[in-house]
Amino acid sequence: MFKFPCFFRPRRLRLAVEIGCALGFALTVVLSVAAQQYRELCREICRDTLRLHVLANSDALSDQIQKLAVRDAILEAVSAATADATDKAEAVAAVRAALPALQAAAQQVTGARVVQMRLVEEPFAAKQYDGFCLPAGTYTALRVEIGRAEGHNWFCVLYPALCVGASEAKYDRAEENALVFGRYEIRSALWDTLHPRRQNDKG
C-alpha cells in the first residue's frame, strides 16, 4: 500500500493548502485596500491642485520662445495674486479675479497676437517634473491659448506654487507631499505586524 511521505500526507497537505489560501486572500485584501488608498490620494491631489496649461501658437522656434515668455509673465502675476491663498479654492478665486490683469500681462508679451485664457476642468496625463511628479487625473487649470494654439503645450502648477523657482510650497497633507515628491509608502496593518519597524527607524 502506497504511503505519502511524512511531509506530503493528506492532513498536512490540506492544512498547507488552507494556509496558502488564507494568505492569498489576505494578500488580495491588503493589495485592494492599498490600491484604493492610492487612487483616493491621487484624487485628493487633483482636487487640491491648480494647474497651468499654455499652448503655443505653433512649433516654430520663435513661437515656442514666446510661449515661455508668456509662461514667465503669468507665473509672476499669479504668484502675486495668490500670495495670501491658503487653499486651492482661494487660489482659484484669486486667479479668476485677476484674469484681466493676467490677460494684459500675457498680451504685453505677444503684442498683436491674441491670447485667450480661461479656467477649465481638463484631464492631464501623469507628469514628471524636476523634483516632483503629479498623477494623472482631471484638474482645474488656467488654460492659455496663444494665437492659433497649435504648438506644443507647457504644463505646470499654479497652486501650490511648485513651479516658482525658490518656492517651498507644499500640500497640506503629508501623504500628498509624499506621493508628489516621491516618498510615498504603501503600508498596511498586516505589513506593520509582520515587519515591525526597529526603534531607530522611528522619527
Q: Are 172 and 48 in contact (CB under 8 A)?
A: yes
Q: How is residue 183 written as a grid cell?
A: 516618498
Q: Which pTM was predicted?
A: 0.71
Please report, for residues 38, 130, 140, 157, the alpha-carbon distance to residue 50 in angstroms, rounded to integers and kept in the order given: 20, 18, 5, 6
Helices 88-110 and 61-81, packing angle to 10 deg: 140
pLDDT of 128 reads 85
Q: For residues 164 and 80, what is the distance between their CA atoms, to the nearest angstrom?
A: 11
60-74, 96-110, 174-188: least confidently modelled range: 174-188
> How do residues 86-120 score in pLDDT, each as one tens digit?
999 999 999 999 999 999 999 999 999 999 999 99
Domain ranges, ordered by start, for the chain: 49-170
Q: For residues 94 and 101, what is the distance between their CA atoms, to the nearest angstrom?
A: 11
End-to-end CA distance of the chain: 62
Rounded average pLDDT over 114-140: 91
Please report, for residues 1, 2, 19, 35, 98, the alpha-carbon distance to residue 5 in angstroms, rounded to integers and kept in the order given: 13, 10, 20, 41, 80
> How do residues 29-57 score in pLDDT, each as one tens digit?
555 655 677 788 888 999 999 999 999 99
Is there a cis peptide before residue 160, judged by omega within 30 degrees of 0?
yes
If one compares 174 and 198, the residue with the highest pLDDT of the two is 174
Position 18 confidence tier, pLDDT thresholds 50, 70, 90: low
